[in-house]
Chain A
Amino acid sequence: MKAKHQRLVLVVLALVALIGAALLAIYALRNQASYFYLPEQMAENPPEVGQAVRLGGMVAPGSLETQADGITVTFTVTGREQSAVPVRYAGILPDLFVEGSGVVAEGRLAADGTFVADNLLAKHDENYVPRELEGMSEHQAAEMAEETTVGLE
């Protein structure tokens, strides 16, 4: 093989591998990315039962209940326009999880319309002040919740 050819072959091989990786990645991303839903979106246009998605909103005050097993909790996540989604979660509540604060629940919708969370994310940020949500109208609070949950992973 001539010198020029070898470089060409290497470049072509590397390009093929990288383009292959990119195509595979894009294909997988379309299927595997988990979409973010607000409560009203989940009400209007619910995801398929069992599909991994995330639900973000406010933990409705007064809705948090611990079940008889001492581990499972249920609560309601609200958004704008009185939309509310019941959530069930088995596990230890994260630090900073309080009624009236923003939360992102990772999980899937069950057939009975309950959202079953595998993981709850409350914001881990020292500058996060749940008090800011006090004294706002429900609508503002929902917007605030949306703000505070942006980018939560």
Chain B
Amino acid sequence: MIAEIGLAALWLAAALAVLQLLGGVLALRGGTTSDIAALTRPAAILQGGLVAVSFAALLYVFAITDLSVKLVAMNSHTLKPLIFKLSGAWGNHEGSMLLWVTVMALAGALIAGIERRLPEKTMQATLAAQGFVALGFYAFLLLSSNPFERLAQPAAEGLGLNPLLQDIGLALHPPTLYFGYVGLSVAFSFAVGALVTKQVTPAFARAMRPWILGAWVFLTLGITAGSYWAYYELGWGGYWFWDPVENASLMPWLAATALLHSASVLASRDALRVWTIMLGVVAFSMSMLGTFLVRSGILTSVHAFAVDPERGSFILFLLALYIGGALLLFALRAGAISEGERFSVASREGALVVNNVMLSAILAVVLLGTLYPLLTEAFDVRVSVGPPYFNPVGAVFTFPMLAVMAVGPLLRWRKDGFGRITKELALVGAVLLSGPILFALLFGMAILPLLGLSFAIALAVASFLPLKGRKLRRVPVETWGMVIAHFGIAVALFGMASESAFSTEKLAALEEGGTTQVGPWSVQLQKVEPVAGPNWTALAGRMTATYRDGEPVEIAPQSRNFWAPPQQTTESVLVTRWNGQLYAVMGSDANDGRWQLRLWWKPFVTLIWYGGLLIALGGVLALVGRVQKDLKRRYVTRRAAERRVDMENG
């Protein structure tokens, strides 16, 4: 029954998306006063409610493990802990697509409900675009991936969830990432709305900015969480593999980061109009491309749940329709959007333009590297593209961007000269140059980590320079946001460079009682013993790890065997100190009474994710600052209007 309610709600929501699209289109043709036009907003809001009901229904059937629902029978199991039953609802193709449309409908409902700053016409066009995009994904879900399909005969027991996904990471990482991915649909719809009405103004950018910021914060958190999850769950010791699925999340982030900065030029200075619109289209296009790559079955990985060519072509069709349509509209209308304000090269805008171009170049590099294996496969040549390509080629554009990032915030808007900030430039330059010399002398390290460490330190210093000479308590919240986000980039970069420069790895086969060394740690294998969990059994290696002469720490990494579905996973153990992490993986038995261990000492590796969190925190602060300012502005306008009325009456 509950499953049928979920399905019915989904169909109704799709019908409302049609209404929303029609209402928006009619409003544009016949003026905003027509009756149907008045329905656009309520349709969007109601749609959000219905999809939420549908998603709740899916959670419910997973919570009670209703085995007559095909999706539950295929992906769940009665013996799983409740949290993994619930998160398992989106640990499969159909469920994750339902999560996608849920986020999309909620975002649509939210803009329909609270966004009142834009001209009504632009708003109608925006909502029509949002309805149109949502409609395609409803069709995809209902026609080819129905999550509520029943089995003729209820299954006796579920097939279970991939053990790699039975982790708290699954509860957090996909929803966060989806809020980011799909949140960008709002920027996309705004861009389409502005193209339709040709109204690209600072007010438009101010209205769009909080939505971009919100999506960007979620995207940042989602990527950070996903990276940490892969790091500890896979047991490979790496935090980023340039896997196509990872790239699929990085590309929207790069586009959204560029969009964020260009929208702020548009909002403050009324420049970069066309470019901002273009990025709005590109950012969500990257989200959809990511969905296509992950969901079409073109790639086989933990993320690709099912290989079904029909689904692949369906998503490809949607992709072509929306991206092609938006780009066509852009090509037709871009010429009609008038030129914005001018600025000189040495100005805040100039720096932001360079930042945007560099981000776009990195995006192009990642995009080409991700698609290249698909292209060559068409010619029957199978290749894979990994760090040897992405790291150096990405670095060519990343380091210039970081240099501009250090200097840009010190420049004034419109027109400035480098002469005014020679002291700051000299400081950043000195740090930047002394770094390589120092590190090269001390450690003799490779070029990329060397540059990484130097830029990280220089950027960390530079990120606080905009606060110089200002009363800290009077610095606006959004400026703090920028400072903290930029500092976060420096922190993350330091972590990455340090991880690749200073990590040590040790593979050893030990008898019980044997000891081995990794970096400053000495690790002794005490005993290997069996452990049982709710749906797995494991071999746990009890070890004591000692950092130099410190207190020994007891750790017990496991090699787990799940029985539904049958699969072996490694449960690594991390020992975190302020200056790095010890990473221990239990292997299997070496057939002669010894046990395999894999150990890493990774200095400052945790900074990678702390950096990610700082970046997201910066985004939150910027969002708070912007919203506060906007509320204040609205309050002042309202008061002024009231006073005018009072004066006229009095």
Q: Do A54 and B393 contact each other (CB < 8 Å), given the known contacts A17-B360, A20-B361, A124-B302?
A: no
A10 partner residues in chain B, CB cutoff 8 A: 275, 353
A124 partner residues in chain B, CB cutoff 8 A: 162, 164, 301-302
A91 partner residues in chain B, CB cutoff 8 A: 507, 598
Which B370-404 residues have C-beta < 8 A from chain A? Answer: 372-373, 376, 381-386, 388-389, 392-393, 396-397
Whole-angstrom distance from the CB of A19 to the nearest CB of chain B?
9
Indicate with 1 or 0, residue by residue over A32-44, a CB within 8 angstroms of chain B CB atoms.
1111100000000
B368-A22 in contact (CB<8A) = yes
- In this complex, the interface size class of chain B, counting residues with CB under 8 Å from chain A, is 35 or more
Which B451-505 residues have C-beta < 8 A from chain A? Answer: none
B565-A126 in contact (CB<8A) = yes
Indicate with 1 or 0, residue by residue over B568-610, a CB within 8 angstroms of chain A CB atoms.
1110000000000000010110111010101000000000000
A116 partner residues in chain B, CB cutoff 8 A: none
**Is B436 in the interface zone, CB < 8 Å from A?**
no
A153 to B368, CA, bound (A): 17
B397-A92 in contact (CB<8A) = no
Whole-angstrom distance from the CB of A89 to the nearest CB of chain B?
11
A18-B361 in contact (CB<8A) = yes
A36 to B379, CA, bound (A): 13
**Is B364 in the interface zone, CB < 8 Å from A?**
yes
A25-B368 in contact (CB<8A) = yes
**Is A125 in the interface zone, CB < 8 Å from B?**
yes
A34 to B570, CA, bound (A): 27
A26 to B358, CA, bound (A): 17
A-B contacts, CB under 8 A, total? 140
B187 partner residues in chain A, CB cutoff 8 A: none
Interface hit among A63-71, A78-86, A107-115, A134-142: A63-71
**Is A144 in the interface zone, CB < 8 Å from B?**
no
B587 partner residues in chain A, CB cutoff 8 A: 92-93
B163 partner residues in chain A, CB cutoff 8 A: 126
B509-A69 in contact (CB<8A) = yes
Q: Do A70 and B567 contact each other (CB < 8 Å), given the known contacts A3-B339, A92-B598?
A: no
Whole-angstrom distance from the CB of B557 to the nearest CB of chain A?
11
A66 partner residues in chain B, CB cutoff 8 A: 590-592
Whole-angstrom distance from the CB of A31 to the nearest CB of chain B?
8
B364-A22 in contact (CB<8A) = yes
B241 partner residues in chain A, CB cutoff 8 A: 153
Q: Do A70 and B592 contact each other (CB < 8 Å), given the known contacts A7-B339, A151-B299?
A: yes
B594 partner residues in chain A, CB cutoff 8 A: 70
B384-A21 in contact (CB<8A) = no
A71 partner residues in chain B, CB cutoff 8 A: 507-509, 590, 596
* Chain B binding surface, main DSSP class: mixed
A52 partner residues in chain B, CB cutoff 8 A: 388
Pick the contact of B585: A6, A13, A69, A92 (CB < 8 A): A92
Pick the contact of B507: A6, A90, A95 (CB < 8 A): A90
Q: Do A126 and B161 contact each other (CB < 8 Å), given the known contacts A29-B389, A71-B508?
A: yes
Whole-angstrom distance from the CB of A17 to the nearest CB of chain B?
5
**Is B342 in the interface zone, CB < 8 Å from A?**
yes
B568-A33 in contact (CB<8A) = no
**Is A152 in the interface zone, CB < 8 Å from B?**
yes
A54 partner residues in chain B, CB cutoff 8 A: 384
A123-B300 in contact (CB<8A) = yes
Q: Do A13 and B381 contact each other (CB < 8 Å), given the known contacts A25-B369, A153-B299?
A: no
Whole-angstrom distance from the CB of A11 to the nearest CB of chain B?
9
A21 to B367, CA, bound (A): 11
**Is A14 in the interface zone, CB < 8 Å from B?**
yes
A32-B339 in contact (CB<8A) = no
A76 to B396, CA, bound (A): 40
**Is B155 in the interface zone, CB < 8 Å from A?**
no
B568-A95 in contact (CB<8A) = yes
**Is A150 in the interface zone, CB < 8 Å from B?**
yes
A3 to B360, CA, bound (A): 24
A124 to B163, CA, bound (A): 10
A36 partner residues in chain B, CB cutoff 8 A: 382-384
- In this complex, the interface size class of chain A, counting residues with CB under 8 Å from chain B, is 35 or more
Which B304-325 residues have C-beta < 8 A from chain A? Answer: 304, 306
**Is B298 in the interface zone, CB < 8 Å from A?**
yes
A17-B358 in contact (CB<8A) = yes
B384-A70 in contact (CB<8A) = no
A25 partner residues in chain B, CB cutoff 8 A: 364-365, 368-369, 393
A36 to B302, CA, bound (A): 20
A123 to B508, CA, bound (A): 25
A29-B360 in contact (CB<8A) = no
B386-A151 in contact (CB<8A) = no
B299 partner residues in chain A, CB cutoff 8 A: 151, 153
**Is B243 in the interface zone, CB < 8 Å from A?**
yes
**Is B619 in the interface zone, CB < 8 Å from A?**
no
Most central of A13, A33, A90 by chain B CB within 10 Å: A33
B164 partner residues in chain A, CB cutoff 8 A: 124
Residue of A nearest to B341 (CB): A3
A32 to B242, CA, bound (A): 14
Most central of B361, B567, B569, B592 by chain A CB within 10 Å: B361
Whole-angstrom distance from the CB of A153 to the nearest CB of chain B?
5
A95 to B508, CA, bound (A): 18
A13 to B159, CA, bound (A): 55
Most central of B160, B509, B594 by chain A CB within 10 Å: B509
Q: Do A33 and B372 contact each other (CB < 8 Å), given the known contacts A17-B361, A126-B160?
A: yes
B389 partner residues in chain A, CB cutoff 8 A: 28-29, 32-33
Whole-angstrom distance from the CB of A87 to the nearest CB of chain B?
17
Whole-angstrom distance from the CB of A72 to the nearest CB of chain B?
9
**Is A96 in the interface zone, CB < 8 Å from B?**
yes
Pick the contact of B384: A24, A34, A69, A93 (CB < 8 A): A34
Which residue numbers of A lie inside 8 Å of B, CB to CB? 1, 3-4, 6-7, 10, 13-14, 17-18, 20-22, 24-26, 28-29, 32-36, 52, 54, 66, 69-71, 90-93, 95-96, 106, 123-127, 150-153
Contacts A18-B361, A28-B389, A152-B301 aside, 17 further interface pairs with beta carbons under 8 A come to A3-B342, A6-B343, A14-B360, A17-B361, A25-B364, A25-B365, A29-B389, A33-B373, A34-B383, A36-B384, A71-B508, A71-B590, A92-B570, A93-B587, A106-B384, A124-B302, A153-B243
Show 6 A/B contacts (Cβ-Cβ < 8 Å), sorted by A.
A22-B364, A24-B365, A25-B368, A34-B386, A92-B588, A150-B300
